[in-house]
A and B are shown apart, each in its own frame.
Chain A
Amino acid sequence: MRRRDFVHLTGLGAAAAMLPSIPVWGNSVPLDAALDRIDPVLKKRMSDVALNAARSRGATYTDVRIGRYLNQFVVTREDKVENIVNTESYGMGIRVIANGSWGFAATDKMDNDSIAKAAELAVAIAKENSRLLTEPVQLAPQKGYGEVSWKAPIEKNAFEVPMKEKVDLLLSVNDAALKGGANYANSVLFLVNEQKYFASTDGSYIDQDIHRIWPTFFLTKIDAKSGKFETRNSLSAPMGMGYEYLEARPQDKIQGVTTLYKGRYDMLEDAKAAATQVGQKITAKSVEAGKYDLVLDPSHLWLTIHESTGHPTELDRVLGYEANFAGTSFLTLDKWQSKNFKYGSDLVNIVGDKTQPGSLGAVGYDDEGVGTKKWDIIKDGVLVNYQAIRDQAHIVGLNESQGCCYADNWSSVQFQRMPNVSLLPGKKQKSIDDLIKNVEKGIYIIGDGSFSIDQQRYNFQFGGQLYYEIKEGKITGMLKDVAYQANTQEFWNACSDMCDERDYRLGGSFFDGKGQPMQSSAVSHGCATTRFNGVNVINTARKI
């Protein structure tokens, strides 16, 4: 599911208007179809057809991914259900190395003949391309796991929850928002189930079942007199969880200027708060541009981590493989080799992690059959590692891949994608109030908003959902028209304080885009509330 398909489907962005209007997002399936799974015995048989066909044509390595991708959307606005969609996409992608070059082909025709033809096409493409190669592909060794499986540790399969329950929840959210003063309320529940099978000539046959959920809403309030409007989006996070994410308990809530959610989400409560806040945003004070200390909530900071730490530490960008689209990186190999490049202050410890339960990136094995793990990327502020896959590992002196390979569909070729990249919480016990009380002139930012960063990840600009002015250690009121601009290295070196693990929460996105053709990847980023000193804030108000 590409971001723009999602935007189109849900009608949530005006950008939807220009996109192709034929609704092809995969095959719709009956509401109970997600319960049936394709027998791994059959998938192994189909995989072997592809592995053998590629080998017989001269492939020296082959991997096969059989994917069944199920999505469900429930899309509402105000008191109406706009759309209920179940989609399925089923097919096979075959990747080979022949004459030292990669080749790839995919098919949704799953008979033996079509599979063999796709395998032959992949080999033919590899051979055709090998004349343009400067050095042959070098794969880090990977042991075969035999026949294994992995399932996301969900408590309640959201596909099995009755449709009425989901519809009732969303309509009650909209109703509460409208009663609270919002003029418009859109809400969406987005469910994902990836049933993935991987087989390779290394001797792995891996069956995995991955679940994701994202409930979200968008409220709009219009000031009738001036025509000015403001919006307030949900503070939910997309998660690698089942429907239990929507069953918040008291221990999952952090109280403050607005309730914040840890691991589980109370959608109705957040909608009620949002309806009040979107009205407050209209009358809020317009920010005075200048330097402020920023106290950033995890519902906001996850995106700054994603853009300014996650992306520049992707090894494919560092090496230049993304130069034509997503860009390269300022974190060049010489900075890593120096062992003393000060990316951030001593407080900054950032890890790559493909195993964290509940996160979007968690899997047992990546899409080239590598068991997943956790590792340091920034240690005490210093750059110590990147994110790598099998054909890159040797470049950074690794004997094995870090398990960061992913394809967003059976029809897409797998490549290096970001694992969960998370800022470790502080070691000293500190609450959000402890952070705010030491700020003389600052802004407390909650929720993610506008975001933009350059192609080497130096200069960024971020907005949020809620901005609160801090004066002499106290929150004095709401601000609007706020965005902050910074240089990545200066920003992370201005990191001055953070809450402890009690405040640690995950944020994330379903739509991290990279590659050509563009692929989307789902990824989480964890952190606790964190303070950054002296960041440049601009005022974004304009008149047209």
Chain B
Amino acid sequence: MSILSKEQAQALLKKVLSYSKADECEVNLSGSDAGNIRYARNSVSTSGGVSSNSLVVSSAFGKKMGVATINEYDDESLRKVVQRAEELAMLAPENPEFVSFMGPQTYPESATFVQATADMSPKDRADAVAASLQISKENKLTAAGFLENNTSYSAMMNSKGLFAYNTSTGVSFNVTLRTEDGKGSGYATKSYNDFKKLDVKAASASAAIKAARSATARAIEPGKYTVILEPAAALVLLENLFFGMDGRQADEGRSFMSKPGGLTKLGEKLVDERVNIYSDPFNTELPTSTWSGDGRAQEKVNWIENGVMKNLFYSRYWAQKKGVKAIPTPEAVIMAGTNQSLEDLIKSTEKGILVTRLWYIRSVDPQTVLLTGLTRDGTFYIENGEIKFPVKNFRFNESPIIMLNNLEALGKPERTVSGESGINALIPPMKIRDFTFSSLSDAV
């Protein structure tokens, strides 16, 4: 096991700091035990278990900083790693943007660790995959999927008296089921801290339904359509908005948040007033660490409130320079919604397209957050409140800013995970008008 208890971590960190001769020293410690299993063609393909750990020492003399890391924890190795960091600091040029490490902080406990996930064995993983394969075979489909769990801890201490510790568990599962003739494909993805919340059978069954229903898709003309985006599809677009909310980029004039003359759009209403996006480490559905890697506390932050851009995240240096609060980047985001189900959104749609997954999203223009990518694994035509038939996949060119201005309706948020970046989020399904599909794809 690579997981140290709070007391073990604290003792080790104190020992490391006792070797420091630098003006300031900060040590980050982390470790994880992870296991995974992968399957394809209705059979297990690869799987493995990896234990790893790391200790990172940052030493500073004035504004000169060096970083060294090691994964052996005997006294000689610990002395060596501190000495290396100090040697590198002496070699490094002075960085005017260096900010002194933080003093003592208090953090509430996080709810990121779940024992049931930490207890997962290779047998648990194989059993879960067996359940998914059974659904695939019963429905005469071909399955490819992946299940991964990890238990990790992180701790930090510095010469100014800061100490932080956290443990975390995670399990993620995703599966693609395809019809034997390759004409239909369905997907499901789930991610939790608690293994007990993962229902592999239900996820596989929903992918099986999409696979069967998406076969023999019809081609319809690309153009502007009302779309209903399932949460997994919406997240991969919206995350590009979140990633662009860096204060320095905005101030420097090189993001969608910038305005001429070094001004920003902070405080302006950029999207529909029903859009509320925030982060909250204490959310019970999506708990995250209560501190960031440089020791800053993670608190609840409103990023977009009633369509108005409320906050940006900052490095400690840039926040100090600008005289603003140094809000760290969140680990996960939450978008508020309503109590409407996906089915409710479909029922209220006269003509539209249901998009269950989007894929290969890339930035086309950072100034407008214009993105391109494609639909995948189940795209359906809706008429008079019902799914009528599957349609061939589209390439789109669209900006999440434009999209959130064309908001028609929001559903009930659910936890999902980005197929592009891997971040977790609580996102509602959403109905958007005039979404721009620019060409057809033959891909299934």
Contacts and interface: CB of A to CB of B under 8 A. Distances in A.
A binds B: yes
Contact of A224 (B48, B178, B261): B261
B139 interface: no
Given A108-B71, A540-B370, A517 B126 contact: no
B47 A102 contact: yes
A330 to B, nearest CB: 7
Contacts of B40: 319-324
A85 interface: yes
A227 B69 contact: no
B329 A132 contact: no
Contacts of B187: 324
Given A28-B67, A128-B122, A131-B126, A413 B56 contact: no
A24 B43 contact: no
B271 to A, nearest CB: 10
A112 interface: no
**Interface range, A side:** 35 or more
Interface in B396-421: 397, 399, 401-402, 421
A71 to B, nearest CB: 12
B297 interface: no
B367 A228 contact: yes
Interface stretch (A360-368, A446-454, A469-477): A446-454
B276 interface: no
Q: Tell which of A107, A132, A536 has the most Cβ of chain B within 10 Å.
A: A132
Nearest to B150: A517
A452 B372 contact: yes
Nearest to A135: B43
B228 to A, nearest CB: 21
Given A104-B47, A224-B261, A324-B145, A22 B30 contact: yes
Contacts of A21: 292-294, 328-329
Interface stretch (A11-19, A42-50, A335-343): A11-19
B352 interface: no
B123 interface: yes
Given A17-B329, A27-B54, A134-B41, A485 B439 contact: yes
A105 B50 contact: yes
Contacts of A228: 367
B219 interface: no
B51 interface: yes
A17 B330 CA distance: 8
Nearest to B187: A324
Interface string B1-35: 00000000000000000000000000010100000
**Interface range, B side:** 35 or more
Q: Tell which of A135, A226, A516 has the most Cβ of chain B within 10 Å.
A: A516
Contact of A14 (B53, B182, B246, B367): B246
Given A454-B374, A454-B395, A542 B402 contact: yes
Contact of A227 (B42, B71, B243, B259): B259
Interface string A81-119: 110111100110000000001111111100000000000
Interface in B362-388: 362-370, 372-374, 376
Interface in B221-263: 239, 242-246, 249, 252-256, 258-261
A415 interface: yes
B26 to A, nearest CB: 11
Contacts of B69: 24, 26-28, 87
A452 B362 contact: yes
A337 to B, nearest CB: 16
Interface stretch (A233-241, A267-275, A456-464): A456-464
A186 B294 CA distance: 23
Contact of B48 (A80, A103, A184): A103
A26 B68 CA distance: 9
B258 A227 contact: yes
A406 to B, nearest CB: 14
A108 B274 CA distance: 50
A150 interface: no
B369 A544 contact: yes
A102 B45 contact: yes
Contacts of B245: 17
Contacts of A517: 36, 148
B28 A22 contact: yes
A428 interface: no
A124 B156 CA distance: 35
Contact of A454 (B67, B370, B401, B443): B443
B361 A452 contact: yes
Interface string A348-391: 00000000000000000000000000000000000000000000
B154 interface: yes
Q: Tell which of A86, A128, A163, A220 has the most Cβ of chain B within 10 Å.
A: A128
A402 B352 CA distance: 47
A231 B252 CA distance: 14
A80 B361 CA distance: 32
B163 interface: no
A222 interface: yes
A543 B88 contact: no
Contacts of B95: 80-82
Contacts of A103: 47-48
A179 interface: no
A14 B242 CA distance: 9
Interface string A513-544: 00011000000000000000000101011111
A191 to B, nearest CB: 16
Contacts of A411: 50, 52
A23 B254 contact: no
B41 A132 contact: no
Nearest to A17: B329
B144 A18 contact: no
A487 interface: yes
B359 A455 contact: yes
A4 interface: yes
A321 B41 contact: yes
A1 interface: no
B255 A14 contact: yes
B70 A544 contact: no
A200 to B, nearest CB: 17
A487 B421 CA distance: 26
A106 B41 CA distance: 26
A535 B365 CA distance: 21
Given A132-B129, A220-B254, A413-B48, A325 B91 contact: no
Contacts of A105: 48-50
A187 B70 CA distance: 28
A532 to B, nearest CB: 17
A463 B364 contact: yes
A368 B17 CA distance: 43
A84 to B, nearest CB: 6
B421 A132 contact: no
B203 interface: no
B175 A540 contact: no
A225 interface: yes
B93 A324 contact: no
Contacts of A250: none
A327 interface: yes
B37 interface: yes
Given A415-B46, A453-B360, A461 B53 contact: no
- Counting from the closest, the 4 A-B pairs by CB-CB distance are A21-B293, A227-B260, A104-B48, A22-B293
Given A224-B260, A415-B46, 6 more contacts: A23-B293, A27-B68, A86-B88, A104-B46, A452-B374, A541-B365
16 contacts: A14-B244, A21-B292, A27-B70, A30-B87, A87-B69, A102-B47, A128-B122, A129-B44, A133-B43, A134-B41, A228-B367, A324-B40, A452-B362, A452-B373, A538-B438, A542-B399
Interface of A: 4, 13-24, 26-31, 80-82, 84-87, 90-91, 101-108, 121-122, 124-125, 128-129, 131-135, 163, 167, 183-184, 220, 222, 224-229, 231, 319-325, 327-328, 330, 411, 413, 415, 450-459, 461, 463, 481, 483, 485, 487, 516-517, 536, 538, 540-544
